[in-house]
Chains A and B, each alone.
Chain A
Amino acid sequence: MHIPDGFINAGTSIAAGVVSAGGIGAALRRAAREMEDRQAPLAGLVAAFVFAAQMLNFPIAAGTSGHLLGGVLAAVLVGPWAGAICVALVLLVQAIFFADGGLSALGLNVLNMAILGALGGYVVFRVLRDVLPKRRPMVVVAAALAAWASVVLASLAFFAEYAVGGVGGVPLGAVFTAMVGIHALIGVGEAVITALTVSAVMAVRPDLVFGARDLAPGPGAAGPRVALEA
């Protein structure tokens, strides 16, 4: 899913970079309002979590595994704006230091995975929450479906980018079948892990789940809790 250098032409990559920069700029303003001066340490630690979670391989079947993209997971846990920023920062470090996704394609990758993956996925989550009954288990169901949709959405965005500025003349029908088809499967893994992780957090600290704030808060919710260990 991480697009390397040379896959999409320079013009399309730069255009995506401009769109992504605008999107992350907007996310920054909204996140700053939501998190105030807690933003740097909290969003930073959550970004470190996304970074680590991407290293977490989940089994698909014996021998094969996929890794988490984490866009919807981050958005449901800490809110769409902070979630998009966390994913974008992870992509930035991966592009500069690890060439995991080309530096010239950073705009494309941020657009697909941070803006469409986290923000777009969160829109799907919100719509589902509005449609589904207002109960705790439904948060998990909505997160699962939104996680699947976000992976497919990112692959659709890749298809559109390839159609506009892709190289190699692969028939668009074949690109569509291959990318969207494969990602519809990968999305199942993303959905299962996202749902189970959200339900694990809901079981212990439901007050931390941004996407469930409208439900009745448990005791001790809101505000930072002072813990004993350092």
Chain B
Amino acid sequence: MRPFSYHRPSSPEDAVAQVAPMGPAGQGGAFLAGGTTIVDLMKLHVVAPPSLTDIGALGLDAIEDRGDGTLHVGARVTMAAAAEHPAFRDRAPVLSDALWKAASPQLRNVATLGGNVLQRTRCPYFRDNVSPCNKRDPGSGCAAMDGINRLLAVLGTSDQCIASYAGDWANALILFDATVETLTADGGRDIAFADLHVPPQDHPERETILGDDELITGYRLQIPEWARRSVYVKARDRESYAFALASAAVALDMDGDTVREARLGLGGVATVPWRAREAEGFLAGKTLTEDVATQAAQIAFQGAQGFGHNDFKIPLGQNTVVKALLDAAAVQLTEEAGQ
């Protein structure tokens, strides 16, 4: 690791004031939460912030039901705590399943939900700190396009970058029209979660709309009663502790066999947390058969582009969507689970 100065402020306001003068992300200071991404990347010299502002003393670690169906989730709630929380486990299993199916128990005990949505890609060329990579070193090129791109994205790519978004929980959170609460030295703002991440386009080094001194402090989300019928299906190289090759987050509002409303998120296949709204629209009002689910999956992957090694992700992703839709439709809801 390169040397850095370490700070541990005691309030969110102090934290953003402290990190503010440090300049652009990558060269400037960074916030430290669980550290499971940034310490890893600092050891690889992929990032080298001159200062770390540790937010470990700021609280922000509660999940609160604020009535009227609004759930408030602090940015420092750990993945492990959130995965076990009844507000997720019982009311929207997809939000719990996407957490316990991610990472390892040791990592989940430390990694926070604020940091989780900001975790960096696992593209091997980004991480090796040697190859051309427009995300790590803007303008240097992309070694992945013609390289070993088996793990990389087929949706939301550009001619600059095909790095896949590696996380799981964000692909479930995006189903619930969540709001991200942030703080800067100039005050706070709300960001629609679906607007937080930006696809690579011409600037793959820019991954979110967050400012350099902007701290995620928490999330607000609305969980509809019918989200008890939700699943997270994750296809990967080994059965546990692996990143998704393809994943699907599904929540269904059903009237018998008919879909009132469907929500569909995709992981492992896109450059950003991905919501498949056209497929959702197609499903509304349909009787959910395997044939209908297959058509929805095809719509979800319209425009998908493989780069050779990752061509298999298109059929794998479609099959994952079909399985998730049928699994969600088959969920047996009990009255007790809703209370």
Task: Indicate whether A and B interact.
Answer: no
- A→B interface (CB under 8 Å): none
- B→A interface (CB under 8 Å): none
